[in-house]
Amino acid sequence: MGEILLARQSDLPGLERYVVLKKVLPHLAADPEFLSRFLDETRVSLSLNHGNIVQVYEVGQVEGQYFMAMEYVEGMDLREVLQVLKARGQRVPEPIALYILNEVAKGLAYAHERKGNDGQPLRIVHRDVSPANLLLSADGQVKVTDFGVAKAASRLSVSLPGKLVGKVYYMSPEQVSGGLCDHRSDIFSLGVVAFEMLAGRRPFEGDSEVAVIESVRRCEPPDLAEAAPWVSPSLAAIIARALARDPNDRYQDMHEFQQAINAYMLQ
């Protein structure tokens, strides 16, 4: 979205906090499509207030430059954690992976069910649920960030048909095919993240972006219990349902996915 900075906000003497500033660079602000996307992100983000979603404090314009002030989460994103673990030949321990999944599901369930001031559903779909957009704080909080490509009823602009937005490794089959995406697409993406945390590898691979897209479109992920023998068949089945090719065969909402995870944890 442009330049990202860590800043210190001080409204009153002795009252200050660190925030993340997203600044739209002048040449990008002159691009109507880019500016529309930025305004879309601010509109979606400002409508969300949940402990598992990075909070947006302020949006404004100074001397013609648009900015967004967001919550600073001190820690790492899940992508960085996975990279460190892979370099060490390790993977995310199952209890921690399930905790992260549960927390992310809470935030996304809230976003999916959010209503506008008129009482109508906003129908928010994140569309870029991936390790880079899942922040893990030093004190154990898990937060979803970057609604820059989110789909919502309140969007000012509309994505072009067939135009891919997001990270292809984590997209749903309907998303890579340029089809309509609802909240069940986010469930699929979270299933991909779950597979990667538990197995130490992604379910869809390829030697090029085109090959990855084709792998996702075919949607024939390996059996998690076979790819990672340390994962129980019952947990593998939970993740496999999230990764169903047909959205109607997946969990129909994040609460249902959470219930399956919680039931497994209580066994």
Q: What is the per-residue pLDDT across 23-35, written as a single tens digit (0 to 9) for each?
A: 887 777 788 877 7
Q: What does the pLDDT look like over 68-111, one tens digit per residue?
A: 899 999 999 999 999 999 999 999 999 999 999 999 999 999 99
Bridge partners of 136? 76, 142
Q: What pLDDT sits at residue 155?
A: 46
Write out the DSSP string of 162-218: T---S-GGG--HHHHTT----HHHHHHHHHHHHHHHHHSS-SS--SSHHHHHHHHHH
Q: What is the mean pLDDT of residues 217-225?
A: 97
The CATH fold of domain 3-71: Phosphorylase Kinase; domain 1 (3.30.200)
Residue 125, number of CB atoms within 10 A of its CB: 25
Name the residues annotated as catalytic: 128
Q: What does the pLDDT look like over 254-264, one tens digit per residue?
A: 999 999 999 99
Q: What pLDDT sits at residue 151?
A: 66
pLDDT confidence bin for 142, thresholds 50/70/90: very high
Q: What is the Cα–Cα distance from 88 to 103, expressed in whole angstroms?
A: 26
Residue 71, number of CB atoms within 10 A of its CB: 16
- Are 187 and 250 in contact, with CB atoms under 8 Å apart? yes
Q: What angle do CA 135, 194, 101 make, to 5 degrees?
A: 55
Q: What is the mean pLDDT of residues 11-31?
A: 81
pLDDT confidence bin for 37, thresholds 50/70/90: confident
pLDDT confidence bin for 227, thresholds 50/70/90: very high
Q: What does the pLDDT look like over 145-180, one tens digit per residue?
A: 988 666 655 444 444 444 454 589 999 999 999 888
Q: Which of 3-7, 51-55, 214-218 has the lowest average pLDDT?
A: 3-7
Domain parsing of the chain, residue ranges: 3-71, 75-265
- Are 99 and 265 in contact, with CB atoms under 8 Å apart? no
Q: What pLDDT sits at residue 25?
A: 78
What is the average pLDDT score of the chain? 89
Bridge partners of 6? 20
CATH of domain 75-265: 1.10.510.10
